[in-house]
Structure 1
Amino acid sequence: MFGLNVERLDLKDKNEKQELEVFLSKFGLELDKDVDYSLVVRDGGEIKATCSKAKNVLKCFAVAETLRGEGITNTLITDLINKLFEEGIYHSFIFTKPENISIFSSLGFNLVHQVKDVALLENGIQDINVYLNKLIKKYNISSSTKAALVMNCNPFTLGHQYLIQKAAEENEDVIVFIVEEDRSLFPFETRLELVRKGTEHLKNVTVIPGGEYIISSATFPSYFLREEGTRLNAYTELDAGIFAKYFCSKLNIKRRYVGTEPYCKVTNAYNETLKEVLSKYGVELHMIERKKQGDYQISASTVRNLIKEDKFEELKEILPQTTLGFLHTEKGKEIVAKIKVSNTPH
């Protein structure tokens, strides 16, 4: 490390950011869009090593061949974890290629799960088993046989409600995990509250936060898996494997419910992979045909499009009263305003 400097790179500086992107491209890597903090090691002014983070996920590692074996990775990770500590974050993840597991294991990271193209490791004050034990205690989850659903609900529709009701009718207990990553126009706390209010009449249903281990496709890294098909397969296999291996085992989940998806190829591919992975762990996947209402296949994206087009009367056909009522609150009106000016899908 003699003569080498570790420094923070200014991601707001277009030239510095481009310099980092060029360095990563030499390794067939990309800079993920959600990166919020990057470190680089320079030698003679040139970048020779780097790593970054997005919240508590460490990513975008690259070290020039001439510096390998010099403890650079250890230094960079130590500095990143110190930065997390400054932010009050004491638990972190690394997504990496399986061949790199030993490198990060030697630095104190523990393997959560691996599939063909990607592995997830974690480090810090908790692990996935500790997390699930706390979840069981906090929500008083019994040992009964259960069904589960994982939903985003952006926002909660009659379609979501129908799917949950179907699971509730067919099972003793049902857990609904709401994706916690805040990448939606409807914030996580709002989505969680709307689902809870909209399922109050279902006494065998428990609605809880998805937590960090139910991986959002939005946070899954793309920097070392550039081909879209490979990335989708890796994400679905990893997410499904973690859910089956840990959640289903620990919470005695024997069935998972999903709705059919007539519009989205990504969701269809996810459901097919989910079915295959869950079956290896003795868990059934139940695909329920999406609920229709008049001319509409009920979906959250349909709701957002109707809001954008000012077709609020038509919303009454596809939203429960709890969601309709929320849209008329001050917070709801703010979200409606954001949807109307949004040019990107959410």
Structure 2
Amino acid sequence: MGKQVAIIGAGISGLLACKYTLSKGFHPIVFENSSSIGGVWTKTVETTKIQTPKEFYQFSDFPWPSSVTEGHPDQNQVLNYIQSYAQHFDLLKHIKFNNKVSGIEYEGPSGDEMQAWSHWGGTGEPFSSGGKWKVVVEDKQSLSTKIHVVDFVILCIGRFSDVPNIPEFPPNKGPEAFHGEVIHSMNYADMDYESAAKFVEGKQLAVIGFSESISNLYTSEMRCRWLAELLGGTFKLPSIKEMEKDVEKWDAYAKRYASSQYYRRSCIGALHLWYNDQLCKDMGWNPKRKKGLFAELFEPYGPMDYASS
């Protein structure tokens, strides 16, 4: 029997992780706390649209249908697209809906032994010969609890999951200063249309937060392909010290775009290119995906450039 992989969350990353682990012969089981797939897209306002043209927000092997003519599809169109992807690759049968993971425990070598490792797992490989993961799952419908024993766990719960990321305000400079209210977009999206309209009626609003991060759809796909290749034995992880140095290198590279001058000058963000180049090299792919020097120099990269190895 192939190794079992637990995937927590059925958003875009969870679906991608499911698809690519299946392609490597593993047996994934996806635990989704809610009753539907889509992750963050199920928690947005209906009028929300993707911020980039749809050609840059799509799966590498599943383009948008011709029926979607808008350059920036809205929430319903995105959810339908994600649903079609899951159905096309027969992923839904691997998902347990309304199943909340309440605990994860690794049973294997002692803590002292793990601290002495120079490589992940002692060898740089993802699976330990003597270790297993215990995943405690609560079924929200039957109110029962079950422990699943698996070989590997993939967290696809998002950076903040269901926890609104609201900043801390300096003393006397928060809601008390402007005699108003601060809410997260997640809470606003939970309102029905009538309640939301009533909430904003006659008020002066400030919306904080707009720009996308590096985490676009095809960046998530590349991560999942990389992980599937690691699990499949295509490559091993370097030493822990090497990975720590690489994290420092990545952090320094990212901070080049976080200076106080960032928003005061023209900028072409290239973080995702550097990141995807690293993943390609690990997987043994040529990071230069374009056909020809001029295309490599001047054409933007997108999902279809990573459609095949």
Scaled by the length of structure 2, the TM-score of the pair is 0.22
Structure number with higher relative contact order (C-alpha < 8 Å, ≥ 6 residues apart): 2
**Larger strand share, 1 or 2:** 1
* TM-score under structure 1 length normalisation: 0.20
